[in-house]
Amino acid sequence: MKYPLDCEISFDKSYLFWLCRFIRNKITSLSNRQVKDKNRLAQILHELITGYNTISELKSSIKEVRNIGINSIHVYFIPLEKLYNFLINFGAASLKEIDEELLSDFLASETANLSDATKKNYRIALISFFGYIDKQNEEKNGFVHRYGIELKNWGGLSGKSGTKLPSFMKKEEVQRFIQAIDKYEFSNKIAARNKLIIKIILYTGIRVNEAINIDLKDFNKDEDAYIIQVRGKGNKPRVVMIKESIIENDLKEWLEYRLTNENLLFCNQKGKALSQAYISSIVEKILLSAGIRKEKNGAHMLRHTFATMLYQKSKDLILVQESLGHADINTSRIYTHFDKDKLKRTTDIF
């Protein structure tokens, strides 16, 4: 069914109407292999058809959708939420006022300090959103409004100079962080679980999303180590390994306390998966307790730390690529920027 472009009495309601339908469309097109609560997801999809009264209500549902297991939906929502606030401040009265020039202004102001990768995500979100509206709007007289947004001439991407180097811990900071993990005072019931998942992320470099979805059947002991099979982006499987001595105490304690019959290694008391936001908040608290401050203090920084140290010790870019599960070796190449041995050679030129 198609709807008029300005289908509500106010601009903010019309925008929210289309955003809810677009988000629903994206949820149904993204991979649902890791969905934990199918009934709740079906309920949210119905709510998106009914619509929400405020952008805050929609934002809460997006967070819940991510926790359920559709993690990449925020890549679309965040830019479109910011566009909503931008247009409200702009004083837009109709969706017909939006054009490519206005969207370029939005991108210029909102993405100035972001990496090229994030800027590309913003551009894709805008093109997808207005492309969806192009196909779904129609007035009573049969007229269809076409945005035709392409943003080909947007000059916000600055090439390699716009790519940010990732935050990571130095060797001395890693040692302090590891000590802080064991010293940090968690609730007794979840201490072992939290320590275990953080150590696995740090020592294997797996993504947070991969860690919170580890299945018990994919976590197996092999001599003095544990072999873990994880599924990365695009549902691609790979294997990582961690020494038994690093996690044996926390693992034993957690498995003894773990009361659920669910297959997830890491879960709450109801057997549900932990959220990425929860893990990142724990990591940030431990970092602060150790006096370590980085530009980004979340759990993903542990992955960058692992990759940086792996390359520094091995000088093997293929190993870094395979360990991190990068489809393209050029993605792994960023860690060569931290090769101190090569940098030291430059100091001897003169």
Answer yes or no: 207 catalytic: yes
Answer yes or no: 304 catalytic: no
Q: Catalytic one among 207, 231, 258, 304?
A: 207
> Which residues are paired to 294 by β-bridges?
none
**Domain range summary for the chain, segments of one domain joined by +:** 11-162, 171-346
Answer yes or no: 303 catalytic: yes
Which H or E run contains 106?
A: helix 100-110
Answer yes or no: 33 catalytic: no
Dump pLDDT digits (tens) for 47-91: 999 999 999 999 999 999 988 888 789 999 999 999 999 999 988
DSSP H helical ranges for 157-235: 171-183, 191-204, 208-212
At position 35, the amino acid (one-letter code) is V
Q: Catalytic one among 26, 199, 300, 304?
A: 300
Q: Catalytic one among 63, 233, 296, 333?
A: 233
Answer yes or no: 243 catalytic: no
Dump pLDDT digits (tens) for 258-305: 877 778 899 888 778 888 888 999 999 999 999 998 877 888 899 999
Q: Give the fold, CATH level 3, of 171-346.
A: hpI Integrase; Chain A (1.10.443)
The three-class DSSP label of residue 225 is: strand
Model pTM greater than 0.85?
no
Is 29 a residue whose pLDDT tops 90?
Answer: no
Is 38 a residue whose pLDDT tops 90?
Answer: no
Q: Catalytic one among 199, 303, 304, 311?
A: 303
